[in-house]
Structure 1
Amino acid sequence: MEWKSTKFDWNRARAFLIAAEEGSLSAAARAMGVAQPTLGRQVEALEAELSLTLFERDGRGIQLTPSGMALLEHAREMNAAANRFSLCAYGQSQTIAGKVCIAAAETHAAVVLPPIIAKLRQLEPGIEIEIVVSNHASDLQRREADIAIRNFRPSEPDLYAKKVRDMHTQLYASPVYLERIGHPTTAMDLSNADFISLDHANMVMQGLNAVGFNLTEKNFPVLTQSYLVMWELVKHGVGIGVLDAAIGDLDPQVQRVLPDFKPLKFPVWLVAHRELKTSRRIRRVFDFLAEELAD
């Protein structure tokens, strides 16, 4: 390895990359948490080190020069390598105390996780928990979370996944709404019922039609991307919603819509970056969640 061939400051290369990606020095400075003049000096120092002009400055901001364009992809590769380095180092930590970030959809975050976290905090008071609530999959490779609860198996080779159980979903509605539509007993009885959609692709409709329903977009006059909002709408008699039976059956304000409806099954996966499994703290929380979620 020829160490002397590397003749620039890697931190300055990072400043160059962020400036190029953000499109202005002011935006890059905000992203790095430094003053704009400081970031500007870092970029200028890198240009001096390399004897190259990387940006053209004008009244509208900065533009990459041909030399800057030629170096941009290499800077991206350096940043990716630095992230992998940081992730690996983080995973080597053998300290139990510290923060663990868990990403989960709203229903898990609001209903399922609280008693589990309360129990964990009693057992491991040194572990600090951050819960990221998102109905979209968090990017674990970019460290948006340490552990994620998902309803699908990840395809990325660097992720470790464990299936903890199957989630059985049921149709629920308020007693008032069921009275209004005549207490249906079959899927065909729901052809004119109102349902609540959870996404613009209407995966709820697609899933129900796949098991024998005959629903159209007209059956979904209300859309929300929030599970908690959907559940409140169901309890207020707006329409029918789909939810994990382990949660829905415990709510006295709703009832199952079809007594003989075979529940839709969705897997529940616990996911973490493979290298984080070498961390005692992450492993402790991961294993504890796997055991509790399985119950």
Structure 2
Amino acid sequence: MDWDDLKIALAIARHGSLSAAARALGSTQPTIGRRLDALEQRLGAKLFEREAGGMRANALGRSLLEGLEQMDAGALAVQRRIAARDTGLDGALTVTSLDWLGDEVIAPMLARFGALHPGVALEVINDVRVFNLARREADLAFRFGSFAQENLIERRVGDVAYALYASEAYLAEHGRPDPADGFDGHALVLMDHAAGAVAHEAWLPPLAPRARVALRANGLRAHLSAVRDGAAMAVLPCLLGEREPQLRRLDLAPQPVVRAVRVGFHSDMRQTPRLRALVDFAVAEFERQSERLCPPDLRR
């Protein structure tokens, strides 16, 4: 029996619909539907009940899931060991990060590493979703905070500082914010509701209960644009805020906020020469850029 067809059944069971399974497998809904029909015909039995909201595994389908999960875990382990074979500084690495960190720090760092090691094929993906390193959705991930997935190795590579910024034009019109009056008369840009409470700005709303929220946005580049335009204030990475000549850092307690950046990878990949070389390179790069990422006067 073709494992690729069984993977389709497993993906449908995991994701609950043909369209979601197709997205997970990088295919299309009609293709997934045809291959499921062919699999069920070969088996001589149905595995799923078609419902208005999607697909639900029937009794036979549910009875197969444990075995399919074990097969999938075994296949992934084989793939990781093949990827981790000692090929020197040659081969592919997929790296994931998010938002401004990926664009401003990780991408140029990877380009420098790639220039030094042309045999390594590098790809960077910036996305807010958490990539599953066990499933080789990526080989390395740069994130804030610790990693929750099992069998991962993580290493702290550096620190990033954040502070509240406003433009000179904004301050000329509205004056400096005052915690004593709860930032009355001032406007803020905050992260969108879907992001929840994010560490770098969690201190601000309690300090500014009377401030107006002018905008919520899910990317810090949008925050930077609004601050640069003079429409509001926002908490920004110092790397972005300090290089804008018209912006001013507002030193207000309980600042500063310093967040650790960590790189994580699966333990099966730990002896891979190209991965180890990239991790060591990242540590050195974060150290080299430490004053840009976390100005000395904001260090704890």
One fold, TM greater than 0.5? yes
For 2:12 and 2:253, locate their aligned partners in 1 and report how far apart those are by CA, in whole Å.
Answer: 59
Measured after TM superposition, the shift of residue 190 of structure 1 is: 5.8
Q: Within 2, Cα distance between the matches of 1:248 and 1:69?
A: 53
- State the AA in 1 paired with 2:179: A
Matched letter for residue 167 of structure 1: V
Mark the CA change 1:29 to 1:172 in structure 2 (over 3 Å): closer, same or farther: closer
Q: Which runs of 5+ in 1 are unaligned?
A: 1-7
The yes-or-no answer on 1:187 pairing with 2:179 is yes
217-226 or 19-28: bigger deviation? 19-28
Q: Deviations over 1:43-70 (max 9, x none)?
A: 332x25xxxx243677978764422222
Which SS does the other structure have where 2:41 is aligned?
A: helix
CA contact (8 A) 2:189 2:214 kept: yes
Partner SS for 1:206? coil
Give the secondary structure class of the aligned counterpart of 1:143: coil
Match of 1:3 in 2: none
SS at structure 2 position matched to 1:272: strand
Compute the TM-score of the two structures, normalised by the length of structure 2.
Answer: 0.79
1:87 aligns with 2:80: yes
For 1:265 and 1:139, the matched residues in 2 are separated by 26
Distance 1:27 1:160, change over 3 A: closer
Q: Give per-residue Cα distances to partners, 1:56-114, cap 9 Å, x unaligned.
A: 67797876442222222322232223222322322224242232222112211222234
Alignment partners' CA distance in 1, 2:57 and 2:256: 56
Aligned residues: 279
How far is the alpha carbon of 1:22 from its aligned partner? 5.6
SS of 1:266's partner is strand
Contact 2:182 2:210 in 1 (8 A): no
Counterpart contact for 1:55–1:62, Cα < 8 Å: no
Instruction: Specify the alignment match of 1:206 in structure 2.
Output: 202
In 2, Cα distance between equivalents of 1:112 and 1:224: 21
SS in 2 for 1:195: strand
Equivalent-residue separation in structure 1 for 2:148 and 2:17 (angstroms): 35
Matches within 5 A, 1:37-76: 37-45=34-42, 47=43, 53-55=45-47, 64-76=57-69
Separation in 1, partners of 2:179, 2:21 = 55
Provide TM-score, normalisation by structure 1.
0.80
Q: CA deviation at 1:218?
A: 4.9
CA gap 1:190/1:23 in 2 versus in 1, 3 angstroms: closer
Q: Secondary structure at the match of 2:39?
A: helix
- Is 1:223–2:216 an aligned residue pair? yes
* Aligned residue identity for 1:119: R
Question: Which region of structure 1 is more displaced relative to structure 2, 224-233 or 111-120?
Answer: 111-120
Distance 2:58 2:213 in 1: 52
Structure showing greater Rg:
1
In structure 2, distance between residues paired with 1:169 and 1:292? 19
Range with greater deviation from structure 2 (119-128 or 195-204): 195-204
Which of these residues, 254, 258, 270, is aligned with residue 265 of structure 1? 258
Contact conserved, 1:19 with 1:25, CA < 8 A, in 2?
yes
Q: Which amino acid aligns with 1:288?
A: F
Give the % identical residues: 24
CA contact under 8 A between 1:26 and 1:36: conserved in structure 2?
A: no
Q: Counterpart of 2:134 in 1: which secondary structure?
A: helix
Aligned to 1:290: 283
Over 3 Å counting, the alpha-carbon distance change for 1:105 and 1:59 in structure 2 is closer
Query: CA RMSD, aligned part only?
Result: 3.1
Note closer, same or farther for the CA distance 1:258–1:272 as it changes in structure 2 (3 Å cut): same
1:245 correspondence with 2:238: yes
Partner of 1:4: none
Check whether the contact 1:104–1:150 (CA below 8 A) recurs between aligned residues: yes
Question: What SS does the corresponding residue of 1:137 show, helix, strand or coil?
Answer: coil
Q: Which amino acid aligns with 1:206?
A: A
Aligned to 1:280: 273
- 8 Å Cα contact 1:235/1:253 also seen in 2: yes
